[in-house]
Amino acid sequence: MHDAQTRQHVANDAAYRCVGKTLIQRTEGHVLVNRHRIGTNPKSLVTSVIGPNEIHLYESNWHQGNFIECVKTRNRTAAPAEIAHRSVTICHLGNIAMRLGRKLRWDPENERFVNDAAYGSTGVVTYESGQETGYEKFGNYGDVIIFEPNGNDRQVPIIHRAHFHVEEGEDWYDRADPEHIGNAESCEELRNCPAPNDGFITKGDNELTNQRYDQVRGLSSPVETEWVIGTAEIRIPWLGWIRLQLAELAAGGTQQIILETTPTPIDTSDPTWVGQQERALA
């Protein structure tokens, strides 16, 4: 069956002019199907009987009923979650490639992009790699990750940007931005240097409250891959503040007022600035 003949057959069939159709094409013909009907060429395919020793597909005319029945019998559903996951992955990959405007290589076994900006198989793009590839999230290079500090799941997760990745024993002093290491003049004067373990060096974006790397401040050692809960994909104002308040209450602690602000240049030479601060603290 030639491609031109297949296209003509599809074009002539009004039932398949709607979206959501699937075409399965082989050397001897094709099958065209959507939620309403099935068409074949040659037409004899649709009436042919599947023999007892041939492959028979799972038949279900009602997904909800099939699910309830499988809960009772513990059988596999007609549309299992694993297949749905793999199917929708193709849709996500297509959308990502379309938005990036370039081709992507996908490793389906590890479910990771291959030879892309992400570090190894972590799926996390660091600030360092983002600078080289142009990858940005939330107005800056690299990914913002959510992680458990020091791998402690009893602590409130931290949401900060991954700046670069270090190996255990690495002297990362020269790779660090001098503005984010305080007064340290060597690795010996820098907390968590040499690196006690493999992991990401992280830092919050708010320069007013996060002037140094988390590892320099002692918030966490380099963030191991297993400590990473995920990457931030969307920003909802105040949601992080609500999460922190709930976490504090659940832990039986005192509420903390932690707000995310945008740094604004301040002219401290302005005489009115001192008065403004005095009134703010009153």
DSSP assignment string, 80-146: -HHHHHHHHHHHHHHHHHHHHTS---EETTTTEESSSSSSTTS-PPPHHHHHHH--EETTEES-EEE
Q: How far is CA 77 from CA 33, 89, 246, in A?
A: 21, 20, 38
Residue with tokens 């996500």: 92
Q: 146 - beta bridge partners?
A: 159, 230
Encoding tokens for residue 183?
């007064």
Whether the per-residue pLDDT at 206 is higher than 70: the answer is yes
* Mean pLDDT comparison of 19-23, 44-48, 143-147, highest-scoring range: 143-147
Distance CA 191, CA 180 (A): 12
The answer to whether the bond into 194 is cis (omega within 30° of 0) is yes
DSSP letter at 226? G
Mean pLDDT of 173-192: 96
pLDDT at position 251, please?
Answer: 55
Measuring CA to CA, which residue among 119, 143, 263, 258 is closest to residue 202?
143
Classify each residue of 246-263 as buried b or exposed e, where b means 16 or more C-beta atoms within 10 Å of its C-beta: eeeeeeeeeeeeeeeeee
pLDDT at position 262, please?
Answer: 43
For residues 97 and 158, which has the higher predicted lDDT (pLDDT)? 158
* Position 13 confidence tier, pLDDT thresholds 50, 70, 90: low
Whether the per-residue pLDDT at 55 is higher than 50: the answer is yes
| Percent of the chain clearing pLDDT 70 (strictly above) | 76
Which of 40-44, 121-125, 199-203, 234-238 has the lowest average pLDDT?
Answer: 234-238
pLDDT at position 260, please?
Answer: 41
pTM of structure? 0.55
Whether the per-residue pLDDT at 58 is higher than 90: the answer is no
Distance CA 258, CA 210 (A): 13
Distance CA 105, CA 115 (A): 7
* Mean pLDDT comparison of 9-18, 29-38, 97-106, 204-213, highest-scoring range: 204-213
pLDDT at position 4, please?
Answer: 57
For residues 66 and 45, which has the higher predicted lDDT (pLDDT)? 66
For residues 1 and 198, which has the higher predicted lDDT (pLDDT)? 198
Residue with tokens 């004067």: 189
Whether the per-residue pLDDT at 210 is higher than 50: the answer is yes
Burial class of residue 124 in the structure, from the number of CB atoms within 10 Å of its CB (0-12 exposed, 13-18 middle, 19+ buried): buried
pLDDT tens by residue, 245-268 = 565 565 554 443 333 434 444 454
Distance CA 68, CA 86 (A): 23
Mean pLDDT over the full length of the chain: 81
The residues, any chain, with a CB within 8 Å of residue 263's CB and separated by 6 or more, are 206, 207, 208
pLDDT at position 1, please?
Answer: 41
Q: Do residues 109 and 179 lie in contact, with contact meaning Cβ atoms separated by under 8 Å?
A: no
* Position 26 confidence tier, pLDDT thresholds 50, 70, 90: confident
Whether the per-residue pLDDT at 12 is higher than 70: the answer is no
| Percent of the chain clearing pLDDT 90 (strictly above) | 43
What one-character-per-residue DSSP string does 165-224 give?
EE-TT---GGGS-GGGSTT--SGGGSTT-S-SSSEEEEE-S-TTT--S-HHHHTS-SSB-
What are the residue boundaries of the structural domains of the chain, listed by start?
A: 3-47, 140-231, 236-282
